[in-house]
Homo-oligomer: A and B are copies of this chain.
């Protein structure tokens, strides 16, 4: 089929009539599908159900340190959980602190602490006139929500297949002392599924920030979340790279088991240099008597070690992979060659990123909604919800079943076509 942009007004009008009929038919089917959030499906949750049987009333709930996990004590995580998560995060066990159930909460805490107490002795950010964060775009809406909540100015940095535009990052970080951080999802990025190249990571590690309290917020959310056994993304480890580059304190690395065991009932962690961890523990010791050690023990005994965790992730992949492939195949079949959109083909993570023609994303998402398919809000992948081109849409294939996903993807493709035709007709008014 020819590209839409080459069609005449008459051809487009004719196409539109046909697409509208299809759309009305789709509306009639009363779909109710959700492709909006990176939520595991019930089938994925089922593979972790063994976790519910790991600890019983007969279990010895002492951890290796000899501490009764049921009681108070141990602020920063039991050693079993530290070992498991440090292996998962590819950092030494001494560079990790175990938190509660949500890495988002750890990131929030990290920004909140910097606001009120600064970073390793720096001026609290709330005392500064201006604090800025760099935001690779498209990116993760919940990152941007945290910085927006604290009144931090966000600066868009374009993403490439190899990571953020590092020329721009290096320049902004070196020139502006108000730039205190950058949000990164380095592996299988949200929403594009891109993984930072070795060069990108090394350029990060070698940044020369004007601000001493500049930190890289390295959200390694999908560190072991591969879709395939082959061609898995392998990143240069950022903590080690920063240390080697003489910037040992420049990075916070975040992760959790939310998309490994149970979302909301997992275990989160931060990894950083000892100097950073000392700073963080000063807060922690005021903030909490410690996180849920019984759940830490449950995770450690269920997975046993990183090999058990990797094996477990294969089961997730077996469920996720067909859905990703279905979406990508449908996009290819329905939209391939039409010149009205492009999309990523991730090897891991939770999202596919779709770029529509400029000015079409909001209309596409609205049309999907009117036919019963909820997508992530258009603009959500940009700071302040403002996509300058109104083009990017995040597709989250995990939650619906394969059949639902197929149906939803077809409806999405139909909406892309219909909105694109309407857009092209605007420029070809008679």
Residues of A within 8 A of B (CB): 37, 39-40, 42, 45, 48-50, 52-53, 55-57, 59, 68-73, 100-102, 104-105, 108, 112, 115-117, 124, 126-127, 142, 145-146, 149-150, 258, 262-265, 283, 286-295
Residues in B neighbouring A40, C-beta threshold 8 A: 71
Residues in B neighbouring A264, C-beta threshold 8 A: 69-73, 289-294
Residues in B neighbouring A149, C-beta threshold 8 A: 117, 283, 286
B52 A53 Cβ-Cβ under 8 A: no
A101 B291 Cβ-Cβ under 8 A: yes
A147 smallest CB distance to B (angstroms): 10
The 3 closest A-B pairs by CB, nearest first: A49-B57, A265-B294, A126-B126
Q: Considering the chains assembled together, what is the distance between the CA atoms of A291 and B291 in angstroms?
A: 12
With A52-B57, A124-B126, A289-B263 already in contact, the answer to whether A101 and B104 are too (CB < 8 A) is no
Contact of A45 among B70, B102, B265 (CB under 8 A): B70
- Closest residue of chain B to A263 (Cβ to Cβ) is B72
Residues in B neighbouring A72, C-beta threshold 8 A: 37, 39, 263-264
A60 smallest CB distance to B (angstroms): 11
Q: Considering the chains assembled together, what is the distance between the CA atoms of A142 and B108 in angstroms?
A: 22
A38 smallest CB distance to B (angstroms): 9
Residues in B neighbouring A291, C-beta threshold 8 A: 100-102, 264
B288 A265 Cβ-Cβ under 8 A: no
With A52-B56, A70-B263, A262-B71 already in contact, the answer to whether A289 and B116 are too (CB < 8 A) is no
A150 B116 Cβ-Cβ under 8 A: yes
With A68-B42, A71-B45, A116-B116 already in contact, the answer to whether A265 and B59 are too (CB < 8 A) is no
A299 smallest CB distance to B (angstroms): 12
A286 B146 Cβ-Cβ under 8 A: yes
- Closest residue of chain B to A117 (Cβ to Cβ) is B149
A105 B287 Cβ-Cβ under 8 A: yes
Contact of A52 among B42, B55, B73 (CB under 8 A): B55
Residues in B neighbouring A70, C-beta threshold 8 A: 45, 48, 262-265
Could you list 13 further interchain pairs (A-B, Cβ under 8 angstroms) beyond the known A126-B127, A145-B286, A264-B290?
A40-B71, A70-B262, A71-B262, A71-B264, A101-B291, A101-B292, A104-B288, A112-B116, A116-B150, A124-B126, A146-B286, A149-B283, A265-B295
Q: Considering the chains assembled together, what is the distance between the CA atoms of A379 and B281 in angstroms?
A: 23
- Closest residue of chain B to A42 (Cβ to Cβ) is B68
A117 smallest CB distance to B (angstroms): 8
A288 smallest CB distance to B (angstroms): 5
Residues in B neighbouring A283, C-beta threshold 8 A: 149
Q: Give 14 A-B contacts (CB < 8 Å), ordered by A residue.
A: A39-B72, A42-B68, A70-B263, A71-B262, A73-B264, A100-B100, A100-B291, A104-B289, A105-B287, A105-B288, A115-B115, A264-B290, A264-B292, A295-B295
A71 B116 Cβ-Cβ under 8 A: no
A141 smallest CB distance to B (angstroms): 11
Residues in B neighbouring A102, C-beta threshold 8 A: 288-291
With A104-B287, A264-B289 already in contact, the answer to whether A53 and B45 are too (CB < 8 A) is no
A113 smallest CB distance to B (angstroms): 8
Residues in B neighbouring A101, C-beta threshold 8 A: 100, 291-292
A108 smallest CB distance to B (angstroms): 4
Residues in B neighbouring A142, C-beta threshold 8 A: 286, 289
Q: Considering the chains assembled together, what is the distance between the CA atoms of A56 and B49 in angstroms?
A: 8
Question: Which of A48, A53, A105 gathers the greatest number of chain B CB atoms within 10 Å?
Answer: A105
Q: Considering the chains assembled together, what is the distance between the CA atoms of A87 and B344 in angstroms?
A: 51
Q: Considering the chains assembled together, what is the distance between the CA atoms of A127 and B262 in angstroms?
A: 40
- Closest residue of chain B to A286 (Cβ to Cβ) is B149
B68 A57 Cβ-Cβ under 8 A: no
Contact of A59 among B52, B69, B115 (CB under 8 A): B52
B108 A287 Cβ-Cβ under 8 A: yes
- Closest residue of chain B to A126 (Cβ to Cβ) is B126
